[in-house]
Chain A
Amino acid sequence: MFGILVQKELKAILLSPKFAVTFGICAFLLLLSVFIGISEYNASVKQYDTGKQLADQQLREQSSFRMIQTKAFRRPDPMQIFVSGLTYDLGRWAGINQISSPRLRSSAYSEDPIFAVFRFVDLAFVVTVVLSLLAVLFTYDAVCGERESGTLPLVFSNAVPRAQYLLAKGIGAWIGLVVPVVLALLLCMLMVILAGVPMTGEHWLRTGLLMLISLLFFTSFMVIGLFISALTRRSSVSFLVSLVVWVAFVLIIPRAGVIAAGQIVRVPSVAEIQGQRDAFARDRWNLFRQDLDSLFENRRGAEPDSMTEEAMWTHMQTQDSMRRAIELDINAFEAKLYEDLSRRRNVQERLAFSLSRVSPASAFQLAAMSLAGTDLDLKRRYEDGLMIFRTQFVDYANKKTEDSPGGFQISFSSDKGMSIGTPRSKAQLDLTDMPTFVPPVQQIGATVEGLLVDAGLLTLYSLLAFAGAFVAFLRYDVR
């Protein structure tokens, strides 16, 4: 019985224009998205290579280790072809020097803001927006449409169990959508291979998992459509309800989750943090000046022989240690502020994602970005990697400076006054043992672990929606 029902569903889908139209739309949009992704990836690789060459050249032209600086680049990853995520929002390089902390700069959107207006159309976008809509359109009239067209009474005048009928409807529609989508996806993979994108085994594994999570995602929307069709008696009503639910799940809830989290967990802006830090520093320096004044007053009232050079030197040393203590205080305060900021951001992020995950679209997007390594973790990974590299680089530069100080040196002496030292040699720096920046890699194990949550949620949504559809259909008046 079940096989007969599924066969009929498939036959009905194959004979209807739905199948051809779906395949056409899927093939066109998916291929277009992958084509755009490959073009952008190739452009990024070109920029990356050029940038690195220029940075290497600039490095070789430097004459001293004392002021040596370089650039670290964010390496493009083939997975960004499918899920761009934050790729185009994050900076592509960071300056590495001994003075400031490294920060990723010059994102694709900051250079070409026009692209930020409509964003890139990637595979994840097509799946999230187009395939979910197609999935709903495949099932929104599965039950009510048959009732409306009058075939349902004839079907149920036979010994057809309702659960089997509903499951066959879902599976038939699912296969009817999966076949054109998978065909289109295979064409996309062929395009990636033909374009010579350097995909490793792990990339293919991630791509395979991405396909699986995509299937899981639009399955949830198909079942939601089925549920709505079992709740309504007219396909026009079902269509309207499905559309509202789709808009809510795809467009509203993901954003609402983030907005709600922003309201619930307040995260101060960087400017506020800077303001607090400056206020604290101002107070501390004012105190320092007051302390200095009182110190000076005490000294002025003291005996004249206390103003000897040695006493002055001790006085300067005291001042210096006080200054250093204040600087340490301010740095510790600033570190605490940033630590608190980071903690609040994490809490806000977790809350935002938890709230957003009420929607299958959010769960899919988060899973897809995590699989592609283009999620929020990309920024963290690079920031951590850059900090480690900067430490290595500064240590290297200091060590080299000690071994062979170059450049120029300004020194002050109470005996000789100010003097400027000149480089002993203008010979090219030997950079053979200089540490190089190794772009951080996301471990597949950690990715899969995170993926399980979203995959579990998508499965849960599908099961809940099917259970709802089943309960509704048990009470459905087939006349």
Chain B
Amino acid sequence: MMLEVPGAAMLEAVTLTKRYEDGVLALDHVSFAVKPGQIFAMLGANGAGKTTAINLFLNFIEPTDGEARIDGIVTHKEPLLAKQRVAYVSENVMLYPNFTAVQNLDYFARLGGKTGYTKDDYRSVLLRVGLSEDAHNKRLKGFSKGMRQKCGIAIAILKDAPAILLDEPTSGLDPKAGFEFQQLLDSLRTEGKAILMSTHDIFRAKEVADIIAIMNNGRIVMQEPASRLLGQDLERLYMQYMAGHTAAEAVA
């Protein structure tokens, strides 16, 4: 089921399908679109196909069928061009342990094509994601998962790409950091970024997303604007979809 949205999509999956060499069908004709200024949340259990979809957008793997497009560019045909328009935060951000936070930011910002940043810019973005100043010039060796996650988000912000892919971004963040992250996503949306986020966090998805999709066994079993789900118990809905109910059954 594809949600009809007016205007050009920044991130678009068109009957995206991925079958691995061992025969597992990880993604089965999935279609969706994320416009600039929208947050699209993919909910689903482990193995539902959320990360596979993100990997296809990053061209880490090639689709068996269909296309993933970023700003209209088919990722597996022109991966380098497509990657210039997307930033990525993984579930477990890993950076160079012998580099400081600022050094890591500097490297990845330049890798993302941004060469004009100053140390003040790095400090300011690190403060924006909630990393205290005393950690800015420390090597990442001693950073907690949450601190690394903040650095990863800072890198994504610095890239200033029109599209952002977030794979379980709040994993490892404490509740306060999670709330700050939610505010950050709000501000990024306001800046006009198209954000595709995979998450297990139903509460956070409901709070922050514009569109919510529930995935099961490589398929999108539900895709609705968050505004339509306001009065509904999303958790119950999620559990029903996971149990294999159809859309009609679940809504009833």
Q: Name A's B-contacting residues (CB within 8 A).
A: 1, 4-5, 8, 11-12, 15-16, 149-151, 153-161, 477-479
Contact = CB atoms under 8 A, between A and B. Distances in A.
A157 B58 contact: yes
Contacts of B80: 159-161
B155 A154 contact: yes
A38 B228 CA distance: 86
Contact of A158 (B61, B92, B108, B152): B108
Given A150-B94, A154-B88, A477 B60 contact: yes
A11 B103 contact: yes
A380 B107 CA distance: 58
Interface stretch (B110-118, B128-136, B183-191, B213-221): B110-118
A477 B99 contact: no
B98 interface: yes
A156 B90 CA distance: 12
Nearest to A160: B111
Given A477-B61, A478-B60, A154 B95 contact: yes
B90 A153 contact: yes
A171 B87 CA distance: 27
Nearest to B115: A4
9 contacts: A12-B96, A150-B93, A150-B94, A154-B95, A157-B87, A158-B84, A158-B113, A158-B159, A159-B81
B94 A154 contact: yes
A15 B98 contact: yes
Contacts of A479: 55, 60-61
A150 B92 contact: yes
A153 B99 contact: no
B60 A158 contact: no
Contact of B83 (A12, A151, A159): A159
Contacts of A4: 107, 110-111
A160 B60 CA distance: 12
Nearest to A13: B98
A155 B111 CA distance: 8
A15 B111 contact: no
A411 B225 CA distance: 128
A154 B88 CA distance: 7
B32 to A, nearest CB: 20
A154 B84 contact: no
A158 B99 contact: no
Contacts of B88: 153-154, 157
Nearest to B82: A159
Contacts of A157: 58, 83, 86-88, 165
Nearest to B83: A159
Given A15-B99, A157-B83, A159-B80, A149 B94 contact: yes
Interface string B57-84: 0101100000000000000000111011
B98 A158 contact: no
Nearest to B85: A159
A378 to B, nearest CB: 48
A161 B111 CA distance: 11
Contact of B93 (A154, A158, A160): A154
A479 B26 CA distance: 15
A5 B41 CA distance: 33
Contacts of B61: 477, 479
Contact of A154 (B81, B86, B98, B108): B108
A159 B61 CA distance: 15
A473 to B, nearest CB: 14
A16 B58 CA distance: 30
Contacts of B152: 154
Nearest to B78: A159
Contacts of A153: 58, 60, 88, 90
B99 A12 contact: yes
Residue of A8, A155, A158, A160 with highest tally of chain B CB at under 10 A: A158
A70 to B, nearest CB: 67
Contacts of A159: 79-81, 83-84, 113
Nearest to A17: B98
B111 A158 contact: yes
Contacts of B86: 157
Contacts of A160: 80, 83, 111
A404 B79 CA distance: 95
Contacts of A156: 58, 60, 83
Given A149-B97, A157-B86, A159-B113, 10 more contacts: A11-B99, A12-B99, A15-B98, A154-B90, A154-B108, A157-B83, A158-B108, A158-B112, A478-B60, A479-B55
Contacts of B165: 157
A16 B141 CA distance: 12
Contacts of B58: 153, 156-157
Contacts of A15: 98-99
Nearest to B81: A159
B225 to A, nearest CB: 28
Contacts of B99: 11-12, 15
A158 B165 CA distance: 12
Contacts of A151: 94-96
Contacts of A12: 96, 98-99
Contacts of A16: 98
Contacts of B95: 151, 154
A157 B90 CA distance: 10
A151 B140 CA distance: 13
A150 to B, nearest CB: 3
A5 B58 CA distance: 20
A141 to B, nearest CB: 13
Contacts of A5: 111
Nearest to B103: A11
A478 B55 CA distance: 10
Residue of A8, A154, A479 with highest tally of chain B CB at under 10 A: A154
A5 B113 CA distance: 12
Contacts of A477: 60-61
